[in-house]
Amino acid sequence: MTTCSSVIANSGVKFGTSGARGLVSDFTPLTCQAFTLAFLHAMQANFEFKTVAVGIDNRPSSPEMAQSIITTLEAMGFAVAYYGVLPTPALAFSAMQQNIPCIMVTGSHIPFDRNGLKFYTPEGEISKADEKAILSAPIPVKELPLTPLPVVNSAAIETYTQRITELFPATIFAGKKIGIYEHSSAGRDIYAAIFTELGAEVVALERSDEFVPIDTEAVSDADQAKALAWSEQYGFDMIFSTDGDGDRPLISDEHGQWLRGDIVGLISAQFLGLEALAVPVSCNTAIEKTQRFAKVERTRIGSPYVIAEFLDLAKDHNSVGGFEANGGFLLGSSVQYNAKHIAALPTRDALLPGILVLAAALAENASISQIVAALPQRFTESDRIKAFATEQSQAILARLTNDSTELLNAMSLRDEVVDTNTVDGLRLTLTNGDIVHLRPSGNAPELRCYAESNTSAQAKKLVVAALEAIQTL
């Protein structure tokens, strides 16, 4: 008997920090159907539902994967709410409002030859315990002939946009000029309309018919040059973009300088007046240095770990949220703003922080760069080595954890390590306050480096030096 667990185990698809990921060739119809059955099995143990929502990103492989998923759902007697191409947070928010689970077909920012699946319970992102239940599902599976995709339902996008636009006056961004870098983002058809509804003048930039793997933690030199050129050409107050599935923002100031994701999150959290935060260990220490939050809890990298802290934080604090170094913003509790209610959305979102950063600048009668400059000045940079096997990364980090001198020497650093943090990877704090953090990616065969210092130039220098050193060890 072929079981879901055996199919998944032999598929090459693995759970990372943001869903199940693998090569497109690994996501065969049988693999997708096995994941779907296993997910249903895990959900039925804790929830009652008759409908499952499904969405996709703009990857060329996503529609066929959705066919496999929907074929399985319908064969099991479930109704399907198919929302087509839309941002992951839009799908998740709509499903949560309906109290139903959902599946998003997306590989987020990874290259187009890969794809993935994100799963949500009626209450939000699946937990690590849910992942284990999916991976171990003992139920039988056999490949089914694919049925056509249903007609696309637009209700999820409407629910998602209303959550934002209802908070602000329709003219709040009047006089502001916003660039929307559309590329192949799953939300590219809705962002311009939202900013326009809020009064801004909007210019659409560089829509692509081919999938563009935008990584908001490691913005390419080409995208940095584009933002600078666009800002000079158009005189933007802000450029807004996202990764592939619209859950991580990419936001520039009025000069075309892309903001680091954790700075975007920090500005957003301050503007909402959140009392307590959960953030990954890789985020900028300016968060604590602002002294604006009653509690800041540091977690492993990945939204499941951030979300897991929300329950404990909510015991002692009225408003709870979090964000990641990639900019994804998570609202762990409902909050009041402008005498209006913002419903919780405990999954990464790109749109809300995009709106809040510009609103924060307006509230201070300042530019975005001035808002950033008012924060404690700690600078973070990050980059990665691609095609670097996870096993190789783990072996190197295990060696360096026992003795980091080899790394410091290879980087030509004279400072000593005053703190070693192994919550997630290897994070070294040096005597001069600089930080070097090495970590295998949870989504792809890559080794990531995060660095923090008192200047941007030094942070960049640390990243380059660390990644070059790693390849010589």
The domain containing residue 202 runs over which residues? Answer: 166-373
**Mean pLDDT computed over every residue of the chain:** 95
Q: What is the CATH number of the domain that holds 463?
A: 3.30.310.50
Average pLDDT over residues 188-210: 96
DSSP conformation class of 99: T
Q: How many domains does the chain have?
A: 3
Strands 345-349 and 51-56: unpaired
Same domain, 277 and 189: yes
pLDDT-derived band at 305, boundaries 50, 70, 90 = very high
Tokens 């693999």 found at: 31
Q: What is the CATH number of the domain that holds 325?
A: 3.40.120.10
Same domain, 134 and 187: no
Instruction: Say if residue 1's pLDDT is above 80.
Output: no
Identify the domain boundary among 138, 157, 176: 157
Task: Catalogue the active-site residues.
Answer: 108
Instruction: Say if residue 443's pLDDT is above 90.
Output: no
Compute the distance between CA of residue 344 and CA of residue 342 in angstroms, rounded to an integer. Answer: 6
Same domain, 104 and 184: no
pLDDT digits (tens, 9 = 90+) for 44-69: 999 999 999 999 999 999 999 999 99
Check residue 217 and give its pLDDT. Answer: 83
Compute the distance between CA of residue 355 and CA of residue 156 in angstroms, rounded to an integer. Answer: 19
Pull the structure tokens for residue 270: 């301050």
Same domain, 190 and 144: no
Same domain, 359 and 215: yes
Percent of the chain with pLDDT over 90: 89
Strands 276-280 and 295-299: parallel
Same domain, 225 and 295: yes
Same domain, 134 and 203: no
Check residue 8 and give its pLDDT. Answer: 97
Check residue 415 and give its pLDDT. Answer: 93
Check residue 26 and give its pLDDT. Answer: 97
Compute the distance between CA of residue 191 and CA of residue 69 in angstroms, rounded to an integer. Answer: 28
Same domain, 384 and 398: yes
Check residue 382 and give its pLDDT. Answer: 87
Same domain, 207 and 343: yes
Residue 350 and residue 247 in contact, taking contact as beta carbons nearer than 8 Å: yes
Same domain, 362 and 391: no
Instruction: Say if residue 444's pLDDT is above 90.
Output: no
Compute the distance between CA of residue 458 and CA of residue 465 in angstroms, rounded to an integer. Answer: 10
Average pLDDT over residues 438-447: 84
Listing DSSP states for 18-52 in one string gives TEEEEEGGG--HHHHHHHHHHHHHHHHTT---SEE
Instruction: Say if residue 218's pLDDT is above 90.
Output: no
Compute the distance between CA of residue 117 and CA of residue 18 in angstroms, rounded to an integer. Answer: 9
Same domain, 347 and 362: yes
Identify the domain boundary among 157, 184, 206: 157
Same domain, 143 and 222: no
Identify the domain boundary among 140, 157, 174: 157
**Strands ordered across the beta sheet of 426-430:** 379-385, 447-453, 435-440, 426-430, 417-421
Average pLDDT over residues 269-286: 96
Compute the distance between CA of residue 142 and CA of residue 290 in angstroms, rounded to an integer. Answer: 55
pLDDT digits (tens, 9 = 90+) for 127-145: 989 999 999 999 999 999 9
Compute the distance between CA of residue 30 and CA of residue 407 in angstroms, rounded to an integer. Answer: 44
Q: Could you give the residue ranges of the DSSP H alpha helices within 235-376? A: 261-272, 286-289, 303-316, 351-363, 368-373
Check residue 17 and give its pLDDT. Answer: 74
Average pLDDT over residues 213-225: 90
Pull the structure tokens for residue 348: 């990464």
